[in-house]
Amino acid sequence: MAKKSKKSKRQSHQLKKSKQRQTRKRRPKTPGTLSLKDSDNQRPDVISMLTVSRDVPVAQDGYRIVGPAQAMMDYAKPLIDESLSQEQFSKRMTFAQLCWNLAIVEHREPKEFEKQRRKIIRDFGGPDVEDKINMMVERFHQMFPDVGRTPSFYMKERVIDIEEYEPFDESTLHISEGRISPTKEEAKLAETLREIDPSEDEAELSEWQDEVVNCYAEWCIAKGVPDDRVGDFAYAVSSYLDFLSNYHDVVLSDYIPAGAVREFMRTFFIRKTWMEAQGKSAMPCALKLLMRYLDEKGIVGGTKRIGKIIESEEDTFQRNLRLYTDPSLGGKVVPFREKD
């Protein structure tokens, strides 16, 4: 079979990256007792939906610890898939939010109010709507038995849709050892980096980070990263850059705090990225390749120091990801603490 051309690989990466960005934008508003007006077209981005305390572990007492928006996405999983149009997605998320509200107040208000709620929900449910409503109400009680008993900034979620996955095997990669000289674009990236103030030049920084990710993806392709992995690697790197700039007001440099890398690997990436566990498991490898890319292209220094931190956190990351994916396995996660 003929190998894919470089152009087709690039298109594959761009398509996957586009879909992942669309997914991030399609996340719903923080759940609660919402009105229909509140629930329409509320799609915070990956940064604005971060509501979980930074000191809370990813799993605890057999539960996954999630922010409210992640809880709603997990709850609505039976109703949504990638093939939905924007309009269909909005309608089904509204249906899920209304079922969530119904489950919260069920048996706590007069019967006529419950009937009114169900009548409103029917308009969003399609065929077999009563069965869907009952299924979603039961699903809520299975997944969130402790709602109202825990602090509002996080939720304990019982995982009932458990993903089966094998951690990414880095030994399957065959990366070329030959150095690739910087392109004109990459030389400009290094120059621009020295001039950016992350606290003031947000638009310029965002554009710069996108260009870094695109160049990194092209480099991965040239180095021999399989086509079906380039998108996952680029997404992990994009999340890392967003995290640094939005949470620590730093860009790629010699001065990235070790605690920032630990926070990203122990909790942030596991909890805040909407992708399958199999894809998430490749994140440490993606970051190590990023350090190699930055060093090879002369874009930034300090890569060996950050690379050592990434390597020291790999086992912790994989353990935490495994327990986040299936908390029923038991075991102790390694949390991030502010003092780290």
The per-residue pLDDT for 199 is 67
Determine whether 219 is exposed, middle or buried from the number of CB atoms within 10 Å of its CB (0-12, 13-18, 19+): buried
Of the candidate ranges 36-50, 104-118, 144-158, the one whose mean pLDDT is the lowest: 36-50
Phi, psi of 4 (to 5 degrees): -70, 145
Residue 179 has pLDDT above 50, yes or no: yes
Instruction: Using alpha carbons only, give the angle 142, 148, 149 rounded to the nearest 5 degrees.
Output: 90
Of the candidate ranges 14-28, 197-211, 254-268, the one whose mean pLDDT is the lowest: 14-28
More confident residue, 318 or 1: 318
Tokens of 94: 């509204």
The per-residue pLDDT for 131 is 92
Highest mean pLDDT among 8-17, 69-78, 141-150, 325-334: 69-78
Contacts of 160 (CB under 8 A, 6+ apart): 139, 142, 143
pLDDT band at 339 (very low <50, low <70, confident <90, very high): low
Using only the alpha carbons of the chain, give its radius of gyration.
22
Strands of the sheet containing 59-60, edge to edge, are 59-60, 63-66, 155-157
Please identify which residue in the block is written with the tokens 């680029």.
234
Q: Would you kindly state where each structural domain of the chain is located, as residue ranges?
A: 27-157, 170-329
Nearest to 219, CA basis, from 166, 271, 275, 295: 295
Across the range 291-317, mean pLDDT stands at 92
The per-residue pLDDT for 237 is 96
Residue 231 has pLDDT above 80, yes or no: yes
* SS3 label, residue 251: coil
Q: What is the reported pTM? A: 0.78
Tell me the per-residue pLDDT of 122-172, one tens digit each, with 9 for 90 and over: 877 677 889 999 999 999 999 998 886 655 677 899 999 999 999 999 999
pLDDT band at 49 (very low <50, low <70, confident <90, very high): very low
Tell me the per-residue pLDDT of 53-107, one tens digit each, with 9 for 90 and over: 566 788 888 999 888 888 999 999 999 876 688 888 998 999 999 999 899 887 6
The per-residue pLDDT for 21 is 42
The per-residue pLDDT for 30 is 34
